[in-house]
Structure 1
């Protein structure tokens, strides 16, 4: 591993396939390390639980990229501008205003009302594959479940969901070549035009959906509204699909834990937290920038430096969890920051948790003998948006 690892190191296929030995080696040397990304900028990577959790809530670390070097915001969002004006890319007071508008749709009480419909969608998806004896689990189940739920919340017609999958998948993929930027610009323009048209429809004829609810608030201008919808769409399904896929693979790698969870389905709520800890759907938190000179774990962080919190590394910190590389679905209170921490804690966490609990309960009930249908070394991992680590496919038999 090079000193001050560059961005390309973290994007390499070898690191994507298994980043955890690298994070463990870094953590053994200390909690904070200088890294060479974004290219041309000063960056620091936090790889332990204690300091990572604190950094996620540190107001000295800005999420507003307008506070960065001149032109940086434009360089980051040059081909996905639709994602530049939402709560994830802002600090208080803008963050407070933007989050307040959307958070009412994701309270624990409102999310729990969705349980019957999520169970119905889950059953319908498994009905399609149960008799086949094998399936590619991501395309057949892990992806369509959360995207159907978030699209129904938004009021998006079912026939448009495949377009959403293509657009959002393109927007979270890395772009370094002119061709990749061109694809992202096309996806950005298509998604923006779609939501602008949907907003216009709801202005003319409000409905009982999330778009109409956001429109009813005077807090958002049109750019913020469209950007918030794009964020909710992408965050509302990409991460949950990863949770289901990563958690299933973890169970297939640990047959005794699969058997335990099948025998004790009451452990599913705890098991979802363990999946989030062991192989977080979001590997690394999105950009944060130091607003002033500061220290993290005794390491000097100069003003305008980027600070990256390795969410996946935090969950495997032995100071936070015993035997951190082992799956334990009965682990008492798994400690993780898979949903972040502080004011940017994931708005959709209650929904993701519910979807995960329903998904794993149904998988184990409906697909007996569940097993991997390829060699493990044939699995490949996607590098998405510099922060997401996700399986490209998960072939299973049952």
Structure 2
């Protein structure tokens, strides 16, 4: 067995894309060690990442792992979701959850999302005018998806503050004890929320899932709570980080920003390029081969942990001409930021809608928007899993 090498050290935290470029030049598949010491296979070439994500032999079900996976373990009641079950259960759960995430449903939410964006923008503009600068991450990017997901799950507004605190603890780097405590708190809260929605159902996604279960579907109580947890986490993290990282990208590419201001109709194209260029998720969720699989000329044994690098795939010159250049008019709009194959993100329309409305509104309301500090003074949280700005102070 090839010895696992350490690649997620200081140089990676400073510039992960340089590390990916070096790895791609050496080959597509690498035996590397995660920060906790766990050995994994990291796949870096776009063609192999795309093929692997669609290959049914790479399972997300941890029961196919043969001891190499040391990731943080959720309580069993939160683990029975789309990202941790086998094909049959995955298809059954996906059909149920999909009812709340159709493009038509999301389009119906567009007015409510725009109202949330406008309210946050009003407060943010007032803060910039009062203080001369404000942090986009804390004042806008973080609360927006929590508000939207809170509405999906019918979380009462007077409970948003403590709810948001738990989520922030889970999204930001912290101790194992803090993470475990936040997970326990959210689990307890979701159990209570399910009970409340069961007693007084509404038009929200959670009520719909409860109705499906109570009508005779085989959705268990643990599956119900875990699906609510997945909707919460998947719906919060990517959108928050993409709004912050996306706005930073626009503000540090003056020509592209000027073109977008001159032609606002290019915003949907710009958002797709941001999903490629500034994807916060560095890797897709880990997979476990159900049988020995050859990928990129490397034979991976059954049960080993495999990580498909989205960030590396998006900077692969074999797929994207000048991949390190941000280009809102790029011809190839295909990306893997929202998954590929059976695990393509059910919330993709919702994520696109939030990012598009958020960036479009900020740029329209603040025509003089710019960084309040030099770009090299900004601090990033960079791990093998995601890369995100800790704060983005801007002025107008």
TM-score range, shorter chain: over 0.9
Aligned residue in 1 for 2:262: 263
Change in 2 beyond 3 A, CA 1:159/1:382: farther
What is the CA-CA distance between 1:110 and the residue it aligns to? 0.6
Aligned residue in 2 for 1:22: 19
Aligned residue in 2 for 1:379: 378
Aligned residue in 2 for 1:142: 141
Aligned residue in 2 for 1:394: 392
What is the CA-CA distance between 1:209 and the residue it aligns to? 1.0
Contact 1:80 1:171 in 2 (8 A): no
Rounded to whole Å, the distance in 1 between the matches of 2:371 and 2:149 is 28
What is the CA-CA distance between 1:122 and the residue it aligns to? 1.0
Aligned residue in 2 for 1:241: 240
Gaps of 5+ in 1: none
Change in 2 beyond 3 A, CA 1:78/1:294: closer
The answer to whether residue 50 in structure 2 is matched with residue 53 in structure 1 is yes
Change in 2 beyond 3 A, CA 1:138/1:82: farther
What SS does structure 1 have at the residue aligned with 2:5? coil
What SS does structure 1 have at the residue aligned with 2:87? coil
Rounded to whole Å, the distance in 1 between the matches of 2:267 and 2:46 is 24
What is the CA-CA distance between 1:43 and the residue it aligns to? 1.7
Residue among 76, 86, 89 paired with 2:71: 76
Contact 1:53 1:341 in 2 (8 A): yes
Aligned residue in 2 for 1:215: 210
**1:20-54 Cα distance to aligned partner (Å, 9 max, x none):** 01101111111111112375554211111111011
Rounded to whole Å, the distance in 2 between the matches of 1:169 and 1:266 is 34
Rounded to whole Å, the distance in 1 between the matches of 2:328 and 2:355 is 14
Rounded to whole Å, the distance in 2 between the matches of 1:353 and 1:155 is 21
How do residues 306-385 of structure 1 correspond to structure 2 at under 5 angstroms?
306-383=305-382
Change in 2 beyond 3 A, CA 1:83/1:281: farther
The answer to whether residue 181 in structure 2 is matched with residue 186 in structure 1 is yes
Aligned residue in 2 for 1:292: 291
What SS does structure 1 have at the residue aligned with 2:212? coil
* TM-score, with structure 2 as normaliser: 0.92
Contact 1:61 1:288 in 2 (8 A): yes
What SS does structure 1 have at the residue aligned with 2:282? coil
How do residues 268-279 of structure 1 correspond to structure 2 at under 5 angstroms?
268-279=267-278
Change in 2 beyond 3 A, CA 1:77/1:34: closer
The answer to whether residue 149 in structure 2 is matched with residue 122 in structure 1 is no
Contact 1:41 1:305 in 2 (8 A): no
Change in 2 beyond 3 A, CA 1:293/1:42: farther
Aligned residue in 2 for 1:106: 101
Rounded to whole Å, the distance in 2 between the matches of 1:330 and 1:78 is 42
The answer to whether residue 38 in structure 2 is matched with residue 36 in structure 1 is no
* TM-score, with structure 1 as normaliser: 0.92
What is the CA-CA distance between 1:377 and the residue it aligns to? 2.2
How do residues 225-240 of structure 1 correspond to structure 2 at under 5 angstroms?
225-240=224-239
Aligned residue in 1 for 2:64: 67
Contact 2:78 2:223 in 1 (8 A): no
Gaps of 5+ in 2: none
Tell me the number of residue pairs that the alignment of Structure 1 and Structure 2 aligns: 386
Rounded to whole Å, the distance in 1 between the matches of 2:375 and 2:229 is 34
Query: What root-mean-square deviation, in Å, do the aligned CA atoms of Structure 1 and Structure 2 show?
Result: 1.9
What is the CA-CA distance between 1:80 and the residue it aligns to? 5.3
